[in-house]
Amino acid sequence: MTRDSIIRFDRVTKAYGPNERVLNEVSFDMERGKFYTLLGPSGCGKTTILRIIAGFIEPTSGDVFFNGERINHVPANKRQVNTVFQDYALFPHLNVYENIAFGLRIKKMRKAEIDAKVKEALKFVNLPGYESRELSEMSGGQKQRVAIARAIVNEPQVILLDEPLSALDLKLRTEMQYELRELQQRLGITFIFVTHDQEEALAMSDEIIVLNEGIIQQSGTPTDIYDEPINRFVADFIGESNIIDGVMFQDFEVEFAGRRFECVDKGLRPNEPVEVIIRPEDLAVTAAESGKIQAKVDSQLFRGVHYEICCYDADGNEWLVHSTKKAVVGDTVGLDFEPEAIHVMRLNETQEEFNRRLESYSAGGGQNAGK
């Protein structure tokens, strides 16, 4: 281990029956002091990973390491990990002070020390002076902060957050995203955040792990994952995209929608079938004759910052365009894009192969947007 690893999963599998694998040989290594997000649709196994780290469940096979020590059978109450639960799990029979002091009282800490720590924790989550409040008097956002304070007051090395923002309304959620990110940077400890909301993941994380059906699809920085999705699932799950079947004609030339286009990908077999992704915001609407693709506008929605335009080309492929300029429904328009906007995905490529390919681009051409 060259990096300062805090949590490591080594081929961890969790099964509830012979055919019910919730996690399938999941391996990863998390560094101290970073903000990680486990992202995926419901049932993808992200919460299972969190519960294994917390110690609520044990893996069926594989090993879990914490600071280099195997912790498979260490019970939850003996781990230096604290959780912020989705429904907050605040004790309704205790007030704010007692909720936050719960863990400290278990440790039999001195009264004065508890007092000081609870006050400090409340200050940290911007709720100073709320000690004697009852939970029934608090709003959802405030309860959320109490739950966070209850976790950080124990000074854990890792904080686990299980979709903590999902019960909040949109405005409060955005606000809390900033606060959580700031909190993590101030505390300097590892945050592991579980969500199914890709925007949340992109906004907050140092690193995102995308999961589906118990298997890690891709992990990397938010820009990596957004710009260079490894497969159709990731591309679809992270943001909106146009995904079209194509063929890699040769290095730097890909064929789709009936034409050949210049691109920045290389190292594939000639005539290898691929999937091509172009993000809607990378497409520009032009006059029909000056576009690389001609398409007929089918419908248009105003989304505030942009228009979402849906058009079909002559082959019947659907093209989603985000444009600040308005189009006219029924008109034929041109769609223009840069070679860098084309992202080519090989079918069934593993993460190692994918990373090697991307590295070869930057070593060779140095023209790719990804790291």
Binding residue for other proteins, selected from 27, 41, 91, 128, defined by CB under 8 A: 91
41 in contact with other proteins (CB under 8 A): no
107 in contact with other proteins (CB under 8 A): yes
144 in contact with other proteins (CB under 8 A): no
Binding residue for other proteins, selected from 128, 140, 273, 364, defined by CB under 8 A: 140
The H or E element that residue 357 is part of is helix 351-364
**Nearest approach, Cβ of residue 213 and other proteins (Å):** 25
For other proteins, the closer of residues 64 and 81 by Cβ is: 81
DSSP 28: E
For other proteins, the closer of residues 168 and 369 by Cβ is: 168
93 in contact with other proteins (CB under 8 A): yes
For other proteins, the closer of residues 106 and 116 by Cβ is: 106
Q: How many CA atoms lie within 13 A of 111 on its CB side?
A: 0
Q: Which range, of 77-85, 188-196, 225-233, 325-333, touches other proteins by CB under 8 A?
A: 77-85
Listing DSSP states for 243-301 in one string gives: EEEEEEEETTEEEETTEEEE-S--SSPTTEEEEEEE-GGG-EEE-GGGSSEEEEEEEEE
Please state at what angle helix 96-106 crosses helix 140-152, rounded to 10 degrees: 20
Cβ atoms 46, 194 nearer than 8 A: yes
Binding residue for other proteins, selected from 83, 205, 231, 242, defined by CB under 8 A: 83
Residues in contact with other proteins, total (CB under 8 A)?
31
Task: Give CA–CA dist 101/70, Å, rounded.
Answer: 29
For other proteins, the closer of residues 125 and 344 by Cβ is: 125
364 in contact with other proteins (CB under 8 A): no
78 in contact with other proteins (CB under 8 A): yes
Cβ atoms 213, 231 nearer than 8 A: no
- Phi/psi of residue 334, nearest 5 degrees: -105, 145
**Nearest approach, Cβ of residue 181 and other proteins (Å):** 22
- All residues at 6 or more sequence positions from 241 whose CB lies less than 8 Å from its CB, including other chains: 229, 235, 277, 278, 279, 280, 320
- All residues at 6 or more sequence positions from 83 whose CB lies less than 8 Å from its CB, including other chains: 50, 54, 151, 159, 160, 161, 162
85 in contact with other proteins (CB under 8 A): yes
For other proteins, the closer of residues 89 and 116 by Cβ is: 89
**Nearest approach, Cβ of residue 73 and other proteins (Å):** 10
Cβ atoms 164, 143 nearer than 8 A: no
**Nearest approach, Cβ of residue 161 and other proteins (Å):** 12
Cβ atoms 206, 221 nearer than 8 A: yes
**Nearest approach, Cβ of residue 219 and other proteins (Å):** 25
Binding residue for other proteins, selected from 34, 58, 74, 94, defined by CB under 8 A: 94
For other proteins, the closer of residues 90 and 192 by Cβ is: 90
- All residues at 6 or more sequence positions from 138 whose CB lies less than 8 Å from its CB, including other chains: 96, 130, 146
Q: Which range, of 29-37, 132-140, 269-277, 352-360, touches other proteins by CB under 8 A?
A: 132-140
Provide the 3-class DSSP secondary structure of residue 186.
helix
Site residues for other proteins, 151-190, by CB under 8 A, read 154, 167
- Phi/psi of residue 302, nearest 5 degrees: -90, 120
**Nearest approach, Cβ of residue 162 and other proteins (Å):** 9
Rg for the chain, CA atoms, rounded? 24
Q: Which range, of 78-86, 218-226, 314-322, 363-371, touches other proteins by CB under 8 A?
A: 78-86
Name the residue among 288, 280, 278 with its Cα closest to residue 330. Answer: 288
Site residues for other proteins, 243-282, by CB under 8 A, read none
Binding residue for other proteins, selected from 56, 236, 338, 362, defined by CB under 8 A: 56
The H or E element that residue 194 is part of is strand 190-195
Binding residue for other proteins, selected from 27, 41, 61, 75, defined by CB under 8 A: 75
Binding residues (CB under 8 A) for other proteins: these are 54-56, 75-78, 81-83, 85-87, 89-94, 102-103, 106-107, 134-136, 140, 143, 150, 154, 167
